[in-house]
Structure 1
Amino acid sequence: MVAGIEKRLFEGDAKKGKTPKYSLNDLDNELFKALALHITTKRIPMLQQLRVGLERYDLIKVMQKKPQECHDLFVIGYDDKVDSHYILSHLAPEMSPIGSIKQVKESKIMEFFQDFLLELEDTQPEDAAAGENLSVPKIMQWMTGQAHTHLLVSEREKFNIVFKFDHCCLQHMPNHTVCYPIVSACTNTITFPVVHMVDYESFKTLMQTAVTYGASFDRV
């Protein structure tokens, strides 16, 4: 292989020293011709076939109307992974009147939830396989049914996760000692049992149990 390259690019006696057959300008011209030939014979037909496929499903029209959204589908680097900021920026808590004792407790739970997500991000290995460990995307999937961000801007603008707070679980079930957060994935709603989440550790324990064994606590 090396001998072939040498023969292709150099001439003369090896003992006296060989000289290049081509100048830098010649190489530039040859390279340009090779690239032009490759684009003409390989890339353009591939792009034409891609366009035909897109037109078959009217995706060309969609791309023309929503170029930014479609850009992420074709350009390497788009990351649809959910992080804590994405979840926290779409929360819609139903809070009690400002200044009330209930509102103070609800605010604490909001803080616990934020700390919980941040702790998961800090402790989650980057190369961990999906589904093996508790993670922020898994929390998202438990609450909403999907573990990725919304592609369309219109979907992101409409997306909310509703937080409700149950202050009366002991009145409903006087003899129980513990209950867990309940989610309704179809409405993106989660209800927290306030009485059982008096500090971060109790909040964390109940959340971990609810997410890990979430099928038992889902509400359709």
Structure 2
Amino acid sequence: MTTQDPIMVGLQPLEAVNQLTYLGSIPASDRDGDYDVVCQIAKAGVVFQLLRPIWSTPKIDLATKIRLLNFTLVEADQWQRKKAASPTSVLRVVPIGEAGVDTGALRKEFLSDMISGIESRFFEGPENKGKNPKYSLTDLDNENFRTVGEIIAVSLAQGGPSPAFFKEWCYNVLCSGEVDFSCLSKEDVADVESSLLISKVEDAADIQSLMLWADEIVSCGYTNQIEMDSKESMIRAIVLHCTTRLIPMLQELKKGMELYGLVNLMAVNPEACHSLFVTGKILKWMTGQSHVPILPDEKRHFKITCKFDHECKERLGDHSICYPVVSASTVTFVL
């Protein structure tokens, strides 16, 4: 920088720097914007990487993908600015090339698509039985799991859907930061390779067939002698191997979820937050919503049962106006 008198604030001179971050941009003293452009591209790249499964899936029609693309093309620094604010700083979705104001519906739709993409891209496991984070050191190194945690916190704080697809043990780690090894079982295994290896060990009829999988069993940390009577110990080693290696991913998720104090709330009220991550309905008093938003995958399997009451006059007497009876718990209404 050129030599000049320092700018004073009271009796304190302001420090002269070559560049600084202001509202998500990085202005430089020499007016060179190359570094700022590189940072903006990197931020956008993270968002597009999160949404890659949505672009490639045949289950989502082209029109929906184009709309989501328009939503996503909002500069990534908008996300960076919002994430440091309080939950009262509402995320606004601004479609490019379209007139309109986001009054909440666009934000909820955007967050629903984001949570759905996160589930398919970063988690694995059978439907309706809970999922584990995928084992990916690349995503861990790129801090993608931390970004996922931030998006989850924003979704819960600003009226989006809950990530109700975690396995129980994962939720316990997010709450306490520790793993209860005694509670881990083969039902907590979500990746296909480990599940198949467990099945092969269980189905082995003799020592010869069991030895076929010796290298894979040993790679899971099993150090005892491979014998037919040691099947349970081998399965136990496989379970511990494929679950404990996911702890760093869960720790990064937890860091991202500190965004709105969500982790502190989970630590203090683990039972109250349980249904937000594992199973059950979203609690209205926690999300401030009057309804439960559902993910696109849930919409495809969502059914409403309609029944017609043809004997209402016999039961209720003569009348000219009938009112429908709605049962929210069974998703049924009677006409």
Q: TM-score range by the shorter chain?
A: under 0.3
Structure 2-normalised TM-score?
Answer: 0.20
Q: Answer with 1 or 2: which has the greater Rg.
A: 1
